[in-house]
Amino acid sequence: MKAAVLHGKEDVRVEDIEPPALKPGEARLRIEAALTCGTDLKVFKRGYHAKMIVPPAVFGHELAGIVSEVSDAGRAGQAGEWQLGDRAVVANSAPCGQCYHCRAGQENICDDLQFLNGAYAEFIVVPARIVRKNMLRLKPETSFRDAALVEPLACVVQGVEDSKLRPGQHVLVLGAGPIGLMFVVLAKQLGCEVTVAGRRAARLEVARRVGADHVIDIGDGHTLVTKIREASKAHFDAVIEAVGVPEVWEASVHLVRKGGTVNFFGGCPAGTTVTLDTTVIHYSDLTLLASFHHTPRTIRRALEFIEKGVIRAAEFVDGECPLSRLPQLFQSMTAGNRVVKTLVNVRG
Ligand SMILES: [Zn+2]
Ligand SMILES: [Zn+2]
């Protein structure tokens, strides 16, 4: 089968690989929708991600598809609940359920998260644990491309819940990438007033389309705090950093109101440090937090939002690319193309 294999820094190749045989409890999906993600772009630029993917490895992690094989030994167990032809979405990880964090209800930071990569391929083998915990059946009316948004959306559900957003609050979302835009939709859904600050005109246009009340173009971003203060007189109850840049982390604490909450949602490269104003944090009584990844519960919640039509691929997936051109696609993403998310046609 054809699959994209990550070999290292800015080195992804589309190769013909031998489909691995199934082990007990595993299922094989024929991939029907695979989406690009900012995390994949980070991994492509860096060449690896210590936790999620170590090359050489099949690449891509947002997908939905059709069950094409179920392991024999698994038939009596959980994998056996799946039939050939079933439509499914699968998360890119599953927690162990045993460690301290899992038992404390923080499965997103499980000590032994098992990750799944290989969405940019014709087929993928889903490990037994992920079949058991994070493979969900799709309703007939849910499209594969909508369903493939489950993983990033589950991370955003986690972020919205952690930030304790409430109706009537004024929320500032820094960053108009797919994650920032999903925050806009969910915060609006909750009844918040939402301001988005971002850079690319096309994405800011999407922010308006998905319901942002105010949109601020911050240009080169060097005077972020001044620009946002000049553009908006609002007192932001919550600020969501959805960029993953240290300067934006630092700016966030100056943009939130006294007593407000900052969620450092965007991950920076390992080893990054920030300098924060202690006076502001202490005397303004700020709540600073971060949200990482998702849990089986937020994965299910995300699918519910998709089933209700709250989040639709029509607004987030604005590019399409055949698998054969994936290396060029990632080069253009590195150069900063304007697309929010690209659907990869794995049979093209
Ligand atoms: Zn993702
Ligand atoms: Zn665990």
Report the separation in Å between the CA atom of 100 and the middle of ligand 2, taken as the mean of its atom positions.
Answer: 7
Report the separation in Å between the CA atom of 97 and the middle of ligand 2, taken as the mean of its atom positions.
Answer: 5
pLDDT at 270: 86
| Residue 313 clears pLDDT 70, i.e. is over it | yes
Whether residues 93 and 161 share a domain: the answer is: no
Mean pLDDT of the chain: 94
| Residue 64 clears pLDDT 80, i.e. is over it | yes
Q: How many CB atoms lie within 10 A of CB 128?
A: 21
Q: What is the C-alpha separation between 315 and 211, in angstroms, rounded? A: 11
Whether residues 115 and 247 share a domain: the answer is: no
Which secondary structure element, helix H or strand E, spans residue 2, and what is its range?
A: strand 2-8
pLDDT at 233: 83
Whether residues 272 and 221 share a domain: the answer is: yes
Q: Is residue 296 part of a domain?
A: no
Whether residues 14 and 145 share a domain: the answer is: yes
Which of the four pLDDT bands, split at 50, 70 and 90, describes residue 337? confident
Which ligand approaches the C-alpha of residue 295 most closely?
A: 2
| Residue 293 clears pLDDT 60, i.e. is over it | yes
pLDDT at 73: 56
| Residue 339 clears pLDDT 60, i.e. is over it | yes
Mean pLDDT confidence for 276-302? 97
| Residue 223 clears pLDDT 90, i.e. is over it | no
Whether residues 82 and 108 share a domain: the answer is: yes
Which ligand approaches the C-alpha of residue 60 most closely?
A: 1
Report the separation in Å between the CA atom of 336 and the middle of ligand 2, taken as the mean of its atom positions.
Answer: 36
Report the separation in Å between the CA atom of 293 and the middle of ligand 2, taken as the mean of its atom positions.
Answer: 13
Q: What is the C-alpha separation between 246 and 49, in angstroms, rounded? A: 19
The length of the chain is: 348
Whether residues 172 and 285 share a domain: the answer is: yes
37-61 tens-digit pLDDT: 999 999 999 998 888 999 999 999 9
Report the separation in Å between the CA atom of 153 and the middle of ligand 2, taken as the mean of its atom positions.
Answer: 21
Q: What is the C-alpha separation between 175 and 207, in angstroms, rounded? A: 10
Q: Is residue 304 part of a domain?
A: no
Q: Which residue has the higher pLDDT, 120 or 220?
A: 120
Q: Is residue 37 part of a domain?
A: yes
Which ligand approaches the C-alpha of residue 153 most closely?
A: 1
Report the separation in Å between the CA atom of 235 and the middle of ligand 1, taken as the mean of its atom positions.
Answer: 31
DSSP designation for 345: E
Residue type, 141: E
pLDDT at 50: 83
Contact residues for 53 (Cβ-Cβ < 8 A; gap 6+): 6, 43, 59, 115, 117
Whether residues 242 and 173 share a domain: the answer is: yes
Number of domain units in the chain: 2
76-96 tens-digit pLDDT: 556 778 999 999 999 999 999
Report the separation in Å between the CA atom of 340 and the middle of ligand 1, taken as the mean of its atom positions.
Answer: 12
Report the separation in Å between the CA atom of 52 and the middle of ligand 2, taken as the mean of its atom positions.
Answer: 15
pLDDT at 222: 67
Q: Is residue 295 part of a domain?
A: no
Q: Return residues with CB closer than 5 A to ligand 1 (ion).
A: 37, 39, 152
pLDDT at 63: 98
Which ligand approaches the C-alpha of residue 40 most closely?
A: 1
Q: Where are the alpha helices (DSSP H) in the chain?
A: 38-46, 100-103, 128-134, 144-147, 150-163, 178-190, 201-209, 224-231, 246-255, 278-283, 296-307, 313-316, 326-334
Contact yes or no for 163/240 (Cβ under 8 A): yes
Report the separation in Å between the CA atom of 149 and the middle of ligand 1, taken as the mean of its atom positions.
Answer: 8
Whether residues 274 and 322 share a domain: the answer is: no
The tokens for 270 are 């390992």
Share of the chain above pLDDT 90, in %: 87
* Residue in 198, 159, 171, 157 with CA at minimum distance from that of residue 289: 159
Contact residues for 178 (Cβ-Cβ < 8 A; gap 6+): 37, 38, 152, 316, 340, 341
Report the separation in Å between the CA atom of 337 and the middle of ligand 2, taken as the mean of its atom positions.
Answer: 37
| Residue 36 clears pLDDT 80, i.e. is over it | yes
Which ligand approaches the C-alpha of residue 133 most closely?
A: 2
Contact yes or no for 273/245 (Cβ under 8 A): no
Report the separation in Å between the CA atom of 91 and the middle of ligand 1, taken as the mean of its atom positions.
Answer: 9
Whether residues 58 and 129 share a domain: the answer is: yes
Q: How many CB atoms lie within 10 A of CB 255?
A: 23
| Residue 193 clears pLDDT 80, i.e. is over it | yes
Contact residues for 160 (Cβ-Cβ < 8 A; gap 6+): 183, 186, 187, 190
Output the pTM of the full model: 0.96
Here the CATH number for the domain that contains residue 195 is: 3.40.50.720
Which of the four pLDDT bands, split at 50, 70 and 90, describes residue 196? very high
pLDDT at 102: 98
Which structural domain range is residue 336 located in? 2-149+311-345
Report the separation in Å between the CA atom of 179 and the middle of ligand 2, taken as the mean of its atom positions.
Answer: 25
Which of the four pLDDT bands, split at 50, 70 and 90, describes residue 182? very high
Q: What is the C-alpha separation between 161 and 15, in angstroms, rounded? A: 41
Here the CATH number for the domain that contains residue 59 is: 3.90.180.10
pLDDT at 74: 52
Share of the chain above pLDDT 70, in %: 97
Q: What is the C-alpha separation between 298 and 37, in angstroms, rounded? A: 18
Mean pLDDT confidence for 239-263? 97
